[in-house]
Amino acid sequence: MSEFLQHLVNMLVLGGTYALLGIGLTLIFGIMNVVNFTHGVLYTFGAYIMFIVVQQLGLNFFLALPVAVLAGWLLGAAIELTLLRPLRGSDIDTTMLVMIGAWIAMQSGALWIWGGVAKSVTTPFPEAPLVLGPVSVSWLRLFVLAAAALLILVTYLLINRTSLGRAMRATFQDHDTAALMGVNVDMIYTSTFAIGSSLAAAAGALLGPVYVIFPQMGDLAAVKAFAIVILGGLGNITGAVIGGFILALAEELGAGYVSSGYRDAMGFLIIIAVLIFKPTGLFARAERVG
Amino acid sequence: MRAVITILLVAALASVPLWLRDPYLLNALITTGIFVIGAMSLNLLLGFTGQLSLGHIAFFGIGAYVSALTSLGFDVGLPGDLRLVHAPWPPIAGFVLAILVAGLCGYFVGLLSFRVRGAYFVIVTISFAEVVRLVALNWVELTQGPLALTNIPSIALPLPGFGEMTLRTKMHNYYLVLVVALMAYLLIARLVHSHFGRAMRGLMENETLAVSVGIDVTRTLTIAAVISAAIAGAAGSLYAHYIRIIDPEVFAFINTVTMVIMVISGGKGSLAGPVVGGLIFGLLPVALRPVMAPEAQWIAYGGVLMAILFVLPRGIVPSLAQRFSRRRSNAPALAPVALTETGAKEPA
């Protein structure tokens, strides 16, 4: 029983960052209809920003997170402006392949710059975990959960309470009508991609110190993000949050009770099962974003 | 005219081992040839049915593992104290089994993934390939996991009256790959120009219309997927018996991407496209090796993929074919991409 409780606690911590990854991708996929293969690279990028700020520049750990968010935002905007804007209107396969090209180039770039050796980040948190009865959780992981929850809340407010969010929702529903109503759709696309990218970078910056940082770390993160988006339904932020926690639970239980080698297979199995049996996602509400 | 050119090209390819003495280059040509076969099989799906399968390496890898395990033998425990023991068979049996098993997997994967289209189809196919990779990585008793299957025997051809001929040298393997590649090319060409091929292309151009004229979409797509997977399995088997060591990295997503680049750059939906694209991108690393670090090569790979999609979205062969036919007839080529290279003027 205590083992099960421990799995639940781990699930909460992982689920928070998975939700961040999923929200970013679901916004981009839902609003722009772009299968963003660079999502994992932005996750990696966020983690390396953490490494640079904390280890190489020696700056404060808590400063690194906003820096990573900002850097992810800028890189995302750059990708959108240079690669996606010229391809507006071309078919989804072409865009997908271009994003795969960008992913390969950027991941190899990371390998070239930082090398293949895994990096770790020293954190200001005590080594000893917080013990609550039968379960224990490290302070770092608690911080990760809190920061992820805060970012999810901010994103939720941004989408539902601001005029930018309203324009994003309008574009999701019908981009032609939104354009007629005076929404600058190009700007909305760039903002959407930048916001989604900054969330991926934030997730990487948060999970990087928990594990280790290496150039291919984003590959699995991207797959997980796809699984979450498919679970939660396109453009559905609440669905992405729930999907993040479901995936985390499936991984924890799979690793705990089946075999740790198959932990990473859970995301793929969820994708296959959902798309075959319930292709609209578990919480089908694809008609609106939010 | 066409036949003469074709015969000359094949003769030129066949003469390569007679004058090329550099084993490194010959090795690059053999592995390129194997990947060209994989790219041709991918083109059958991507170019002629319009389905972007990004899990294609799964069938290549399954072919490699089936062939290797058939010829090496295995002894694995099954649930309930059962053991599955297999004594080594000749590699040629492995080659045949690789084709059959990969085709069968293509049938099941196709049956399931053709229920969705577009982005979802792409994601499902990637997921299948990754699940297979994780099984290969974790089912250590069968596959040795990351330790790899080693000492895979070379293919031996039974020659009636002369016993057996083991294809151990690079020259032997070059001809083996060339023959299999030609057979795959002819098979695909025949298929594409048959009634079935027209059904495939009709479906690619307008699925709703294809259904309305009585084309069974699921059946057509599944048959294409089975043949495509079977050819990829053959390529995988050749790879296993040539390289003689395989590990789960054979399933790496980047290998699928390599095949996709070969097809897209050469021209999807053109028979010669994957061959041209495959030769360019298979031999590019050889040309770049002295001047670029491996990481920089991959950056260039990603960059070239993007550049092709921006500059030459239809691929090299269709673009050249169009230019050639325009110059000859002084009129814009009206034939659809898929037909330009045969010059056939049948309605698609």
Say yes or no for a CB contact (<8 Å) between A35 and B123. Answer: yes
Say yes or no for a CB contact (<8 Å) between A105 and B293. Answer: no
Q: How far is CA A57 from CA A50, A118, A174, A202, B179, in A?
A: 10, 18, 45, 19, 59
Output the pLDDT for position B341: 40
Write the CATH number for A229: 1.10.3470
| Mutant choice from A108, A111, A226, A280 vs B, greatest count of B C-beta within 10 A | A108
- Structural domains in chain A (count): 1
Range of the domain at A100: 2-277
Task: Note whether residue A283 is domain-resident.
Answer: no
Q: B336: pLDDT confidence band, cut at 50, 70 and 90?
A: very low
DSSP-assigned states of every residue in chain A: -HHHHHHHHHHHHHHHHHHHHHHHHHHIIIII----TTHHHHHHHHHHHHHIIIIIS---HHHHHHHHHHHHHHHHHHHIIIIIGGGTTS-HHHHHHHHHHHHHHHHHHHHHHH-SS-B----SS-SSPEEETTEEE-HHHHHHHHHHHHHHHHHHHHHHHSHHHHHHHHHHH-HHHHHHTT--HHHHHHHHHHHHHHHHHHHHHHHHHHS-B-TTHHHHHHHHHHHHHHHH-TT-HHHHHHHHHHHHHHHHHIIIII-GGGTTHHHHHHHHHHHHH-TT-TT--TTS--
Task: Note whether residue A184 is domain-resident.
Answer: yes
Task: Note whether residue A269 is domain-resident.
Answer: yes
Closest partner residue to A97 (CB to CB) among B112, B135, B309 is B309
Task: Note whether residue A289 is domain-resident.
Answer: no
Closest partner residue to B119 (CB to CB) among A86, A90, A92 is A92
Contact A37, A102 (CB under 8 A): yes
Task: Note whether residue A243 is domain-resident.
Answer: yes
Task: Note whether residue A248 is domain-resident.
Answer: yes
Q: B107: pLDDT confidence band, cut at 50, 70 and 90?
A: very high
Say yes or no for a CB contact (<8 Å) between B298 and A105. Answer: yes
With CA atoms as reference, the chain B residue closest to A224 would be: B127
ipTM for the predicted complex comes to 0.82
Output the pLDDT for position A284: 58
User: For B222-267, how does the pLDDT look when each residue is reduced to its tens digit (9 = 90+)?
Assistant: 999 999 999 999 999 999 999 989 999 889 888 888 898 899 888 8
Reading chain A (290 residues) residue by residue, the pLDDT tens digits are 778 888 888 888 889 999 999 999 999 988 888 889 999 999 999 999 999 999 999 888 999 999 999 999 999 999 999 999 998 888 887 888 899 999 999 999 999 999 888 998 888 888 888 888 888 888 888 999 999 999 999 999 999 999 999 999 888 888 888 889 888 999 999 999 999 999 999 999 999 998 899 998 988 888 889 888 888 887 888 889 999 999 999 888 888 887 777 788 888 888 888 887 877 777 655 444 44
Tokens of A265: 């297979």
Closest partner residue to A111 (CB to CB) among B119, B124, B295 is B295
User: Is pLDDT above 90 for B60?
Assistant: yes
Task: Note whether residue A176 is domain-resident.
Answer: yes
Shortest CA gap B170–chain A (Å): 32
Say yes or no for a CB contact (<8 Å) between A101 and B254. Answer: no
In chain A, what residues touch B257 (CB-CB under 8 Å)?
100, 104
Tokens of A240: 């992405």
Task: Note whether residue A285 is domain-resident.
Answer: no
In chain A, what residues touch B122 (CB-CB under 8 Å)?
35, 93, 96
Q: Compute the count of residue pairs across chains A and B with CB atoms less than 8 Å apart.
A: 118
